[in-house]
Structure 1
């Protein structure tokens, strides 16, 4: 099977179910942003190779993002055998944040992104996650979107922020608080 089909050369693509839509469609933007996020989660997994628990969780997150992308890529009204995002997936992120936060100093200010390359990757993934969340909300304004998808993306962006703080400590990087003038 060839990767290129040439069917999108004029700016349209197919949803799962066969419906063709513009590549500028908000649905395409939503699942494309989820795909972009998934790639950055892969980058986070790459630098977490020596932390088996974190790597396992990041793989779980990537699998959930593939699920979300597949759900968002499905034409309205079409049904496929795609798993759902469950409340347990959201709770897992919350539990992981709670565990990490026990080792973190209390947050008193906003933190400027950066301090170490790996910390910056966490922040980039967090901001892409926020965009995926916004795009999913935009889609939900006009079409049905499972609310757990939006909750998951919201919680995932929180997780990525907490992860950035944890990685900052692991890398012995300075957290620079934002101090407005």
Structure 2
């Protein structure tokens, strides 16, 4: 196990730089730090989704919470991977596992006939928030990859995770018997 933090503040970042996992220092505006922050934010939102799942009275949803808890550990791994250039913790089998869970839920859903507007319940809306933050984390990692090396399975992991979260939102609507909020065309005549 690595170093244990005994002191939370070090004052070494007060000048606008931060330390990476390999000991190097970079500006806090560096693309790598941005990607790490977006991945961290994603993990926080996924934690909210997991806690909402645990608090439902629907067994099919509470049964998914342990998988989301495991995903949080893998997201933490991805953040560690990004903080240490050249390090790899996310592999294709992690992506495969997300696909398996996604497919199982999707098999129970009706075909999608229109765009979905986030909402219906706090749980469903939180799934969509996590999904949109996941997309941002993916874009941040792609941006980092334009100037530095990133692990391709990590990119696939985020891409598939955002798909998973979209399907999870729909699955939560199904299992909690909430109607999906479908996009509606504006029927009002335009002004002017």
TM-score, normalised with respect to structure 1: 0.92
For the residue of structure 2 that corresponds to 1:13, the secondary structure is strand
Show the counterpart of 2:3. none
Show the counterpart of 1:9. 14
Tell me the CA shift for residue 172 of structure 1. 2.1
Show the counterpart of 1:63. 73
Over 2 Å off, 4+ runs: 50-53
Moved more, 116-125 or 42-51: 42-51
Instruction: Pick the aligned partner of 1:30 from 16, 25, 35.
Output: 35
Gaps of 5+ in 2: 1-5, 187-192
Structure 2 counterparts to residues 125-164 of structure 1, below 5 A? 125-164=130-169
Tell me the CA shift for residue 168 of structure 1. 1.1
For the residue of structure 2 that corresponds to 1:48, the secondary structure is helix
**Structure exhibiting the larger radius of gyration computed from Cα positions:** 2
Question: Is the 1:116–1:171 contact (alpha carbons within 8 Å) kept by the matching residues of 2?
Answer: no
Show the counterpart of 1:172. 177
Give the distance between the partners of 1:58 and 1:34, measured in 2 at CA.
15
Tell me the CA shift for residue 171 of structure 1. 2.3
TM-score, normalised with respect to structure 2: 0.87
For the residue of structure 1 that corresponds to 2:22, the secondary structure is coil
Give the distance between the partners of 1:118 and 1:85, measured in 2 at CA.
27
Residues 51-72 of structure 1, C-alpha deviations (whole Å, 9 max, x = no match): 4531111011111101100010
